[in-house]
Structures are given as structure tokens and as C-alpha cells.
Chain A
Amino acid sequence: SQTIHQWPATLVQPVGSPLSLECTVEGTSNPNLYWYRQAAGRGLQLLFYSVGIGQISSEVPQNLSASRPQDRQFILSSKKLLLSDSGFYLCAWSPTGAGREQYFGPGTRLTVT
């Protein structure tokens, strides 16, 4: 069966510090991968998605970047965090193809102080 991991689970970082969040998927090959942010409200904001190694699409101009160095690894980064980067970051994967169901990881709670 497939599983998706995210770490760390929680993170408190000062403004201006760098960020690296990692997501890995097991039990599947060539998944589509996604990074979402869920702010204090409910809405899910799609930040990045990837259909393959080294292929990253950015949805919204951000202080963030994403990379996919391996087939089942997706990394969210920032060089200098802003207060507004605080939120709940969710990684998800879906089988290859458009419009397929997405499976979410447990999330990382980021607080920028």
C-alpha cells in the first residue's frame, strides 16, 4: 500500500531564516506531487505541483520554492521566511493522470516568529 510522509511535524522558525520541508511517498511510482498551504482559515492554497523529476509548476508567486530531486521526494524551501509564511503545509500525491484522487500527508505546522 502507499504511504506519504512529511517532516518535521511542527516547526518554529524566526523571520529571515531558511526553510526546508520534506515529503516522501512509498509504494507507488511516478506520482504527481503537490504542496498546499492551509492558513488560519480553512482554504487550501495550491503552491506547487510536479508531474515528474525536476518538473515543477508554481501556482502562486511566493517566497517559497519547490524541488523534486527523486521520483518520490518533494521538497519545499525558502531562503528567508516571512511572518506570512506561517501555516499548515500539506503534501499530497496522486496517481499519474489529470484529475485523479489526491492522498494527503499528515502536514507540517510552521510558525514563523
Chain B
Amino acid sequence: GEDVEQSLFLSVREGDSSVINCTYTDSSSTYLYWYKQEPGAGLQLLTYIFSNMDMKQDQRLTVLLNKKDKHLSLRIADTQTGDSAIYFCAEVSYNQGGKLIFGQGTELSVKP
């Protein structure tokens, strides 16, 4: 079945770049999403990329997509302490009626 995998933890220093990686399985997924969850809050849609794109940049966020390897990454430039959160990637599963399949989330810790 469909599965989305992410590493569980990432620690960086303030001002460095963070790269959060994700692998997915559904090659027919038309969109891939990144969400951010701060403690005790719901998930916030950060950005998404359409499957015919290789890269999307939105201010400090850069999404890279490698369809051949089914690999997605989120790069956060100039990481700030306010970026500390859990980041989820999600693929669309058309085998399951177009539902989103979420990874387990990567907890980003930014140290001053």
C-alpha cells in the first residue's frame, strides 16, 4: 500500500539551512504537500508542488521533487527558532479515492 516516510528528528543551528526529506510511493500523485505543526496546534499548509515540477520556491522555502526516485525535500533557508515544529509531507493516494497520505512527521529543533 501507499506509504510516506520521513526521518523523525532534525536539529540545526539558527541561521543555518534545514533540509527535511520525504519518500513517497504513489507515482500517480499529482500534488505533494508540506505541512507544519506547532505544539498543541493543527497542521498548517506550508506549500505544495505539482508533480510536473522539479522545484518550487516560496520565500525561505524551497521544495525539490525527484519523481524518478519518489523523493521530496523541503529546504528552509536561514532557519529561525520560530521554525521549530513538526513537518509533515503528504502524497495523494488515488488508489484510496484521492485521500492524502501523511508521513510520520519530522521534528525540527532549532538551537540558538
Contact = CB atoms under 8 A, between A and B. Distances in A.
Interface residues of B, number: 25
A109 B39 CA distance: 12
Nearest to B102: A44
**Interface SS majority for chain B:** strand
A90 B43 contact: yes
Contacts of B88: 42, 44
B33 interface: yes
Nearest to A41: B104
Interface of B: 8, 29-31, 33, 35, 40-45, 48, 86, 88, 92, 94, 97-100, 102, 104-105, 107
A102 B45 contact: yes
Interface residues of A, number: 22
Interface of A: 6, 41-44, 46, 49, 57, 90, 92, 97-107, 109
